[in-house]
Amino acid sequence: MLRIAYFGPQGTFTEQAARALAPGEDLTPYETVRMALTAVREGAADAACVPIENSVEGVVPTTLDGLSDGDPLVAVAETILPIHFSVLTRPGGGEIRTVASHPHALAQVREWLEANLPGATVVASSSTASAAVGVVEGTYDAAVSAPVAIEHYALEELATGVADVHDAQTRFLLVRRPGELPEPTGADRTSIVAAAVNRTGTLAELLAELASRGINLTRLDARPTRNNFGEYRFFIDFEGHVAEPRIVSAMAALRRRCHLRFLGSHPRADDVAATVEPGAGNQDFVEAQAWVDAVLKGEGA
Amino acid sequence: MLRIAYFGPQGTFTEQAARALAPGEDLTPYETVRMALTAVREGAADAACVPIENSVEGVVPTTLDGLSDGDPLVAVAETILPIHFSVLTRPGGGEIRTVASHPHALAQVREWLEANLPGATVVASSSTASAAVGVVEGTYDAAVSAPVAIEHYALEELATGVADVHDAQTRFLLVRRPGELPEPTGADRTSIVAAAVNRTGTLAELLAELASRGINLTRLDARPTRNNFGEYRFFIDFEGHVAEPRIVSAMAALRRRCHLRFLGSHPRADDVAATVEPGAGNQDFVEAQAWVDAVLKGEGA
């Protein structure tokens, strides 16, 4: 059984993602994203499940920083969860005077609370799961939690599928130490972090290396380095797998231009096949290289 | 006196930024960033002060979305605040058993709390200011708050300048309805939001328009549109002022390539002068245009 670290506590969306990415494995919650990643780096866990981006809140900065600092880790799988909450109460709990959750969760169910629990006092908690614990202990009357919380606490579902914005979703990664890569599927995502000198046009040049090879970006985030504005690392996700000749060509070109770290190639959770531009398919790269090789040997022109 | 809306409540870093950006003006807190911006759009306020990016937490998604949706607003000034907290207690308050703040603030003072208040229970609150209110009311014994909070609440400073990461900072904007632009200073920042079709190489093409004119980016954020991954708006900040010929040339080129919204040109808070590449100064642009005009009139070749 694999030992899977996840950003806890128990009963959050990240646990739900870990169950989806590593069904039946041994899951252990860690207090922070950084601690879950450290567990993998130090060998206390075989892999870690961490959130990477949310369609409402944006990217998760601690995950980006945690992947780019320290020993290398690579993502080998991802999953996307819809962010729909359950509202949990004590069995036969009576009047709901207080409802608790993490401020981010409360912001995503504000309209639902106004419509369905208009009299309740809304209270901040440190996580959606700690709100559920607070209900068990009688501190609050209701918690806005991840659906998986019901499996840990003796509570009742007052409502499920609760969300003001119904298409909000979060993407999670399963990361481990570098090793065998997942097989290419034709619907893959490759992630890198690039640290280039702060010079006019640097990012344009990096992106041109991808664009000129017909490689489609799926995400780009600039994070300040050393906690200062003005100097940035670029987290770039694009379609394709590093085992493909077109991606190999792009990665080698980027490597010449900047400090580069590979963050993984793995199948996309949404199963969207890679766009391939005319003249930029893997066969085109292979044939072009073969032609140059032939020229070199005096066997063609 | 100008009516300045700010993302409240009273006693937060945003109020502190509003005082710096609009000293002596009439400041009114609004419950959300969106509500502060709406107050300006509807004429209830002359300008709004909102956070735009934090060196630890990254960009503020609600501000980006709030500026790109709805009627146009432009930034006319910015300020950068160091994020150092004050720990506030009741005067002569005795033992500190509970300390409260917003989870983001608590994450930034975790080490300080472990070293200085090791026995205290840490409690989440909905804002740094509501934690201070909780101390006034006796709910908590200490609050981790913005320094300005001491001016609103009858509390004592147990400590000031508290932060685990001492160079953490947040940048704030003062935005208003489109009108007269601030004068160019040579150390300006221009902000745009670009929505382009989802096609391989689009972002590389947009950035090449800036790079080929020697214009240096200061920030780039990709935000998913309509709450879905895969389709993005790009928030781009670069050096220079839209009143400069080199910036005019770039903005017109971008306008041909994508849906573009101007988010303002204003002096940089850090006073860093714009990088100008050889052949890409304003005088170069003016002289080049004059040469083409002369060719057109048959007066040169």
Question: What pLDDT, in 10s, does the model give residues B261-278?
Answer: 999 999 999 999 999 999
> What would the pLDDT profile of A180-195 be if each residue is shown by its tens digit?
999 999 999 999 999 9
Average pLDDT of the residues in B113-124: 93
The domain ranges of chain B are 1-82+169-180, 85-162, 184-301
| Residue B40 to residues A105, B4, B74, B78, Cα–Cα distance (Å) | 27, 9, 11, 17
> What would the pLDDT profile of B243-258 be if each residue is shown by its tens digit?
999 999 999 999 999 9
The CA distance from B30 to B16, in Å, is 14
> What would the pLDDT profile of A241-284 be if each residue is shown by its tens digit?
999 999 999 999 999 999 999 999 999 999 999 999 999 999 99
Same fold, A85-162 and A181-301: no
- Predicted confidence at residue A282, as pLDDT, reads 95
Pick the CATH number of A85-162 from 3.40.190.10, 3.40.309.10, 3.30.70.270, 2.60.120.40: 3.40.190.10
Average pLDDT of the residues in B61-76: 94
CATH superfamily of A181-301: ACT domain (3.30.70.260)
Nearest to A53 by CA among A40, A41, A42, A62: A62
| Residue B299 to residues B284, B290, B291, B292, B295, Cα–Cα distance (Å) | 19, 11, 9, 10, 6
* Nearest residue in A to B121, CA atom: A126
Is the pLDDT score of B227 beyond 60?
A: no
A interface test, pick of B123, B229, B235, B247 with most A CB neighbours within 10 Å? B229
What are the residues facing A277 on neighbouring strands? none
Pick the CATH number of A1-82+169-180 from 3.40.190.10, 3.90.1150.10, 3.30.70.580, 1.10.486.10: 3.40.190.10
Is the pLDDT score of A226 beyond 70?
A: no
Is the pLDDT score of A164 beyond 60?
A: yes
> What would the pLDDT profile of B158-210 be if each residue is shown by its tens digit?
999 999 988 889 999 999 999 999 999 999 999 999 998 778 899 999 999 99
Would you identify the CATH topology of the domain B184-301?
Alpha-Beta Plaits (3.30.70)
Contact A211 B227 (CB under 8 A): no
Nearest to B17 by CA among B45, B41, B53: B53
- Dig out the tokens for B176 from the structure: 């208003």
ipTM: 0.83
Q: In which band, very low, low, confident or very high, does the pLDDT at B226 lie, cut at 50, 70 and 90? A: low
Neighbours of A32 (CB within 10 A): 15
Neighbours of B155 (CB within 10 A): 22
Is the pLDDT score of A19 beyond 90?
A: yes
The pLDDT > 70 percentage for chain A reads: 98
- Predicted confidence at residue B98, as pLDDT, reads 95
Q: In which band, very low, low, confident or very high, does the pLDDT at A59 lie, cut at 50, 70 and 90? A: confident
Owner of token pair 């009576």: A94
> What would the pLDDT profile of A81-125 be if each residue is shown by its tens digit?
999 999 999 998 789 999 999 988 998 899 999 999 999 999 989
- Dig out the tokens for B150 from the structure: 């001491």
Give yes or no for A273 touching B (CB within 8 A): no
Interface of B with A in 119-148 (CB under 8 A): 122-126, 130
What is the nearest CA distance from B179 to chain A, expressed in angstroms?
28
Torsion of CA A17, A18, A24, A25, to 10 degrees: 170
